[in-house]
Amino acid sequence: MTAAPAEAQEIQLTGPLAGAPAVRKLRLHRDGRFEVAPGASFTLLDEYRRTIMPGMRLTYHLTDWFGIGAWGGYGFQYNTGLTDELQRVAIDARDCTNRSFTKECQLTRVNLTRGDLTKDQLAQIQWVAAPQLTFVPFRGKLALFAELFVDTDVNFFAGYAAVGVKERKQCSENCANTFGLESRLAFAPTFGLGLNFYPSDFLGFGAEWRALPFAWNTSGFDNHGLGTDEAFPDNKVDDKDREFHFTSMVTVSLSIQFPTAIKTTE
């Protein structure tokens, strides 16, 4: 038994819709426009200090699906519950003045300050500046209760960021008495995605998730440096003690597009 040959018929559209585009009067919220988007970012899954980062995104959109721009912000920190508990139990309630010979004092003398954790050893992100490329593969309308319709798009972005970090200052000797923070410049890739809404021709709002993976010593501890694999503490605090963290944050923003007049397709 042989199978019947497959056949296909080309369907040609005739009439007033022949040659018509798939979408008419498409509103181009990005094409040829400069976008200014002030906002605030909030770091996620922090161990010791959370960061709130007011900032801004600037983007020029060469087309409706591709743009070039930059994002940045300045950070303000507050403690997690773990930090407050460490300060209360491990530092404020610890008495090593007359008990320096005890095991707990010997084991923590390099890793725990006698003063304020946030001022002496816990790292923080001071600022971030990142040039980036933006891609917009999806756009459409979002309907609410079949009554309210708003233009919507999903964008992806990627770039390379300069990160201003404050970490515990490095020391190679007498680290038990060397506490305090110093600034350094780190570099990291950055990428993420956003969801944007446009209730008017030149105003919008949205939210995005951003990743900022890089190595830094968030705790100010002597984590590594000894042994062939440098996996053990060496009573020093230096770049060997930095650990990789997949730092991520959520940003909410308000966007303003210039020129304010919007383009539409035929």
Q: What is the pLDDT of residues 69-116, one digit of tens each?
A: 999 999 999 999 999 999 999 898 888 877 777 877 888 889 999 999
Over residues 129-139, mean pLDDT: 97
Domain boundaries, the chain: 29-264
Whether the pTM exceeds 0.75: the reply is yes
7 band by pLDDT with thresholds 50, 70 and 90: low
Structure tokens at 159: 């770039």
- If we measure between CA atoms, which residue out of 125, 182, 186, 194 comes closest to residue 156? 194
pLDDT, averaged across the chain: 90
Under CATH, what is the fold of the domain 29-264? Answer: Porin (2.40.160)
Q: What is the pLDDT of residue 99?
A: 74
Residue 9 has pLDDT above 70, yes or no: no
Residue 201 CA to residue 151 CA, distance in Å, equals 10
Residue 135 CA to residue 196 CA, distance in Å, equals 13
Residue 72 CA to residue 49 CA, distance in Å, equals 19
Q: What is the pLDDT of residue 94?
A: 82
